[in-house]
Amino acid sequence: MTATIEAQTPPRTYPTQAHRPRRNRANVWLTLLLVLASVFTIVPFVAVLVLAVSPESAPTIPRQLPDDVTLDNLTAVLSASSFLRWTLNSVLCSVVSVVIILLTAAMAGYAFARKRFPGSTALMWSFLATLMVPIQATLIPMFVLVSRLDGVNTFWGLIVPTLANSQAVFLMRQFIRELPDELFDAAKIDGAGEWTVFWRLVLPLTKPVLATLGIFVFLWHWNDFLWPLVIAQTDEMRTLTVGLSTLNAESVARARIMASAAISVVPCLIIFGVLQRYLVNSVATTGLKG
């Protein structure tokens, strides 16, 4: 009766453990397929790395590692005078975006999934509909709007317009919808308030989705080029992607571009590596379905 919400949450199970008995044969084939798939995704990256450390005059089709591996391209990119500033801007933008979007999207997703209010379906679909308008069509109206609000060349102008993220909302809604009703009913019985239900029931239960979403939001913002380009009027406001492109003279060596690419990829890999383990802790909902 007075069981806390946490006690209601079922114990963690690891679904994969159940597969152990039949591991050997099937798993070998599956692992092999995974290796194949991984090779397919990796090879182009190896190419990027090879080109990034090639001297500028190397043929663009490297057949093997060039004899004169050079760090020149990488150092040229890293020693750009504003490199640190651009990176800080990108970090700030991406991290702030992740925090705000996770919170607001979870709230909105929860509302769409479990709350009935007038117009909720229409609203959900109109959120999704904005995804269907290509950004090239709304770029000018959006920029003019932000400019009227004095947001050009400011941090809020850089970040806030990109926070309205339909995919995040939709994703949260789809997952929260699948959470069993019993959990929420039990919480009601316990007299839990609305915010408590959200904060201590929904959020913990959706951790894997939140972690996944966190990775994506970070990446989307880190790799964004068009909006940071038009919003920044001075060098100090540029993000890394925009800043790196200022290093490209009109006919820039492919090796140089690859070096830029290799460098800007590193933080994303770090973030993915850090957040990846949260994807492992799933909360299966066994034991409650009658």
Partner 1 sequence: MRGQLTFVAVAALTLAACGGSDGESTDGGGSVTVWMYPVVPDQDASIEFWDQVETDFETGHDDIDLTIELLPWEGRDEKIATAIASGEGPDLVLLTPDQTLQYQSTGGLKPMGAAVEENRDAFLPNALDSVTFDDELYGVPIYHTSTTTVYNTEVLEAAGISEVPTTWDDVLAAAPKLAANGVAAMDYSGSPEMTLNLSFYPLLWQAGGTVFTDDGSDVAFDGPEGHAALQFLVDLQEVGGLPADAATKPNNVEGGPLGTGTAAMGYAVTAPEVEQMKAGVGAENVVVGEPLSGVEQVSFGMPGVLSLTSISEDEQAAMEVAAYIASPEVATALNDAAGTFPARTDVEPPTGDEMLTVFNDALQYANPGEVTPSARQVMSVLSSNIQAALQGSKSVEDALADAASEARDLIARGG
Partner 2 sequence: MTVQRAAVQRASWRQRARDPGWGLLFVLPMLVLFVIFRFVPSLGAVGMSLTDYRLSGDFSFVGADNYVRLFEDDLFFHSLRVTLLYAAICVPLALVVALGTATLLHHVVRGQSVFRGLLFLPYVTSFVMAGIIWTWIYESDGLINGLLEKLGVGPVPFLTGNQAMVLASLAVVSVWKSFGYSMLILVAGLKNIPEDIVEAAKLDGAGPCSRFWRITIPLLRPVIFFVLVIETIAAFQVFDTIYVMTGGGPARASYGLVYMLYDQGFKFFDFGYAATVGVVLFLVVFLISLVQRYVLDREKT
Looking at the chain, the number of H-run helices and the number of E-run strands are 15, 0
Q: Which is nearer to partner 2, 60 or 75 (CB)?
A: 60
26 counts as binding partner 2 under rule CB under 8 A? yes
99 counts as binding partner 2 under rule CB under 8 A? no
207 counts as binding partner 1 under rule CB under 8 A? no
Footprint on residues 61-100 left by partner 1 (CB under 8 A): 61, 80-81, 92, 96, 99-100
Distance CA 187, CA 114 (A): 14
Enter the DSSP assignment of 136.
H
CB 214 within 8 A of CB 272: no
Contact pattern for partner 1 over residues 217 through 256, marking x by CB under 8 A = --------xx--xx--xxxxx----x--xxxxxxx-xx--
158 counts as binding partner 2 under rule CB under 8 A? no
Q: How far is the first Cα of the chain from the last one, in angstroms, to the nearest whole number?
A: 19
Footprint on residues 97-116 left by partner 1 (CB under 8 A): 99-100, 103
Footprint on residues 234-273 left by partner 2 (CB under 8 A): 241, 254, 257-258, 261, 265, 268-269, 272-273
Element (H, E) at 52: helix 23-52
CB 155 within 8 A of CB 95: no
Q: Among 30, 69, 71, 252, which residue interacts with partner 2 (rule: CB under 8 A)?
A: 30
Residue found by looking up tokens 């949450």 in the block: 9
Distance CA 117, CA 54 (A): 60
Report in angstroms how near the CB of residue 220 gets to partner 1 at its nearest: 17
Say which entry of partner 1, partner 2, none residue 7 contacts (CB below 5 to 8 A, set by partner kind): none
Q: Among 28, 35, 144, 288, which residue interacts with partner 1 (rule: CB under 8 A)?
A: 144
Report in angstroms how near the CB of residue 106 gets to partner 1 at its nearest: 10
Question: At a CB cut-off of 8 Å and minimum separation 6, what does 152 contact?
Answer: 143, 146, 231, 233
Q: List phi, psi (to 5°) of 82.
A: -100, 15
- Over its C-alpha atoms, the chain yields an Rg (Å, rounded) of 24
Interface ranges with partner 1 (CB under 8 A): 56-61, 80-81, 92, 96, 99-100, 103, 139-140, 143-144, 146-148, 152-159, 199, 203, 225-226, 229-230, 233-237, 242, 245-251, 253-254
